[in-house]
């Protein structure tokens, strides 16, 4: 049985949040439904745009070291794939039993969700975010 029930969103780190939002709203026709401003996470600003059964999360970080770490020399890059789960603790336990490691011991929280990010070196080079909305 699969861990998780659907892809919740795909997180894309961008060099210019305004330009990326403009492309998805003006050109593609999506709408921004939520924004975040979390200065303590490297000056993070984000916008969520639903697209079908999932969302695109556009992320810009302004703190130079966080920006270098998350974006590198690119103008944009897919950073993570977020998977929605019903029970975050049970999913984390099952994943840890299979050798998956997370970036934090305890879940993080933002925008009404609890979540863990995986260490890419334990998930075949891809960072996943396992999230439980409403927690």
How is the chain split into domains, by residue range?
6-133
End-to-end CA distance of the chain: 23
Rounded to the nearest 10°, the torsion over CA 50, 108, 71, 100 is -100
Pairing of strands 6-14, 113-117: unpaired
> So what CATH class is 6-133?
alpha beta
Q: Tell me if 60 sits within 8 A of 14, measured CB to CB.
A: yes
What is the C-alpha to C-alpha distance for residues 17 and 1, in angstroms, rounded to an integer?
A: 37
Q: Which residues, in sequence order, are bridge partners of residue 30?
A: none
What pTM was estimated for this model as a whole? 0.90
Q: Count CB-CB contacts under 10 A for residue 12.
A: 17
* Contact (CB, 8 A) for 107 and 130: no
Residue range 95-102: average pLDDT? 97
Distance CA(73)–CA(6), nearest Å, equals 31
**pLDDT at residue 135 is higher than 80:** no
* Measured distance CA(47)–CA(37) in Å, rounded: 9
**DSSP letter assigned to residue 135:** -
pLDDT in tens, 61-79: 999 999 999 998 999 999 9
113 pLDDT exceeds 80? yes
Q: What is the pLDDT of residues 41-60, one digit of tens each?
A: 999 999 999 999 999 999 99
Distance CA 47, CA 32 (A): 6
């Amino acid at each position: 049985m699969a861990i998780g029930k659907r892809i919740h969103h795909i997180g894309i780190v961008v060099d210019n949040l305004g330009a990326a939002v403009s492309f998805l709203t003006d050109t593609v026709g999506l709408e921004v439904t939520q924004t975040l401003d979390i200065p303590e996470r490297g000056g993070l600003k984000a916008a969520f745009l639903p697209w079908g059964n999932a969302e695109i999360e556009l992320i810009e970080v302004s703190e130079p070291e966080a920006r270098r770490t998350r974006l590198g020399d690119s103008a944009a890059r897919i950073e993570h794939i977020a998977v929605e789960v019903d029970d975050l603790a049970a999913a984390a336990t099952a994943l840890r039993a299979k050798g998956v490691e997370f970036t934090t011991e305890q879940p993080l929280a933002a925008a009404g969700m609890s979540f863990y990010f995986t260490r890419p070196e334990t998930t075949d080079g891809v960072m996943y975010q396992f999230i439980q909305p409403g927690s």
